[in-house]
């Protein structure tokens, strides 16, 4: 496929999906999320408008989300069962299918920047743990102490999920925003749990890119890696087709090759971006336990923000600079 002759450059972002209802967060918290989404969109839009390549714009949006402790990536990342942080990130460029992924890093301030450095280095496309951290440091990425990522709120979430696991006698993990609602509400429903941040971009040159970053699931087993850094599962971009970033129960998104399946349906079946995302989110993933959502942008700038949970923090912005955001299901995008 070739670049569409008429296209609308755009950035779409997500800050995770899950049990996000009007009852589970206060009006002040809702506004804080809306403001944060707007600020991230406006920050990244400056790069878009200045003509930066799609991967740089996507990485900037995700970096800004990593810096915001409201979201489960970078500072504010959730805790593993050992009360540590293990973060994963990925960036993919549609033009040449270049990509870089890191998993299980705990000292890189902005994992998505290290993923970009890996992509640009042109060697391995996926690195893990301490070796990935040494790579990031050698590339000049900012390194921080392990506890730099910790927040009180995430620790409370961990303790809540662990108490629920103890009470039920079953192993439990939780999607970030679901764990948050659990700290205020009903017992943990294992089918309803999420977090994570991502961005998809169609730049002014007609090029696509996607980036995703996450702390994973609250109370995850140390060493567990979700879909976010797995190309084709949590992140994917292909020139002339689509860029996709996912959030949800990573195991299902990996088993369903979620992001790549969206691209394949568009490319091979001729579906629209909306049709392909709906098929994956509402038909392919649910039988696999795939609660969550994804954001996608097609070669012409068609955006789909699709999820099967109660809510997904989401937004988009075009060249006009008007940031539009939404949180709940059945809520139209609107200025923050």
Chain residues that interact with ligand ASP, rule: CB under 6 A? 16, 72, 175-176, 194-196, 214, 216-217, 226-228, 234, 247-250, 292
Q: Does 10 carry a binding-site annotation?
A: no
**Number of CB atoms found within 10 A of residue 168's CB:** 12
Give, as one character, the DSSP assignment of residue 188. P
Which residue, 17 or 119, is less far from ligand ASP as judged by CB? 17
Which residue, 47 or 85, is less far from ligand ASP as judged by CB? 85
Q: Does 248 carry a binding-site annotation?
A: yes
Buried-exposed string 179-210: b where 16+ CB fall within 10 A, e elsewhere: bbbbeeeeebebebbbbbbbbbbbbbebbbbb
Closest contact distance (angstroms) between CB of 289 and ligand ASP is: 11
Closest contact distance (angstroms) between CB of 132 and ligand ASP is: 16
Closest contact distance (angstroms) between CB of 139 and ligand ASP is: 24
Which residue, 254 or 299, is less far from ligand ASP as judged by CB? 254
Give, as one character, the DSSP assignment of residue 265. H
Residue closest to 215 by CA, chosen among 113, 79, 117: 79
Q: Does 15 carry a binding-site annotation?
A: no
CB 51 within 8 A of CB 74: no
CB 303 within 8 A of CB 333: no
Closest contact distance (angstroms) between CB of 291 and ligand ASP is: 10
Q: Does 249 carry a binding-site annotation?
A: yes
State the virtual CA torsion across 264, 55, 129, 192 in degrees, nearest 10: -60
Q: Does 223 carry a binding-site annotation?
A: no
Which residue, 9 or 250, is less far from ligand ASP as judged by CB? 250
196 assigned to active site: yes
Residue in 107, 196, 261, 277 annotated catalytic? 196
Which residue, 107 or 196, is less far from ligand ASP as judged by CB? 196
d(CA 8, CA 27): 33
Beta bridge partners of 194: 176
Q: Does 225 carry a binding-site annotation?
A: yes
Q: Which residues contact 116 (CB under 8 A, 6 or more apart)?
A: 55, 56, 59, 91, 100, 211
Q: Which helix (H) or strand (E) holds 253?
A: helix 250-255
Closest contact distance (angstroms) between CB of 50 and ligand ASP is: 30
d(CA 206, CA 334): 25
Q: Binding-site residues for substrate, please?
A: 224-227, 247-250
Q: Binding-site residues, please?
A: 224-227, 247-250
Residues labelled as active-site residues: 196
């Amino acid at each position: 496929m070739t670049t569409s002759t008429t296209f609308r450059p755009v950035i779409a972002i997500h800050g995770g999906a899950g049990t996000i209802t009007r009852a589970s967060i206060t009006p002040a918290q809702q506004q804080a999320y809306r403001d944060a989404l707007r600020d991230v969109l406006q920050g990244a839009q400056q790069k878009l408008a200045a003509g930066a390549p799609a991967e740089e714009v996507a990485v900037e949006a995700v970096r800004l989300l990593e810096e915001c402790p409201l979201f489960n990536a970078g500072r504010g990342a959730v805790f593993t069962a050992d009360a540590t942080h293990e973060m994963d990130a990925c960036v993919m460029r549609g033009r040449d299918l270049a990509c870089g992924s890191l998993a299980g890093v705990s000292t890189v301030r902005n994992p998505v920047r290290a993923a970009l450095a890996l992509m640009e280095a042109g060697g391995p496309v996926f690195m893990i743990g301490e070796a990935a951290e040494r790579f990031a440091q050698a590339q000049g990425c900012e390194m921080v102490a392990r506890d730099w990522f910790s927040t009180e709120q995430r620790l409370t979430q961990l303790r809540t999920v662990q108490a629920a696991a103890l009470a039920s006698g079953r192993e439990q993990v939780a999607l970030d925003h679901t764990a948050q609602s659990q700290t205020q509400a009903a017992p943990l429903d294992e089918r309803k749990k999420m977090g994570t941040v991502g961005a998809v971009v169609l730049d002014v040159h007609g090029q696509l890119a996607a980036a995703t970053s996450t702390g994973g699931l609250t109370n995850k087993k140390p060493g567990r890696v979700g879909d976010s850094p797995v190309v084709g599962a949590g992140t994917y971009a292909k020139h002339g087709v689509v860029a996709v970033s996912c959030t949800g129960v990573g195991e299902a998104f990996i088993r369903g090759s979620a992001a790549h399946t969206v691209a394949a349906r568009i490319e091979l079946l001729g579906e629209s971006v909306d049709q392909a995302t709906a098929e994956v989110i509402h038909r392919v993933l649910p039988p696999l336990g795939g609660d969550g959502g994804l954001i996608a942008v097609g070669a012409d700038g068609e955006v789909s923000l699709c999820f099967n949970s109660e809510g997904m923090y989401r937004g988009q912005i075009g060249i006009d600079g008007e940031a539009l955001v939404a949180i709940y299901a059945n809520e139209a995008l609107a200025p923050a």
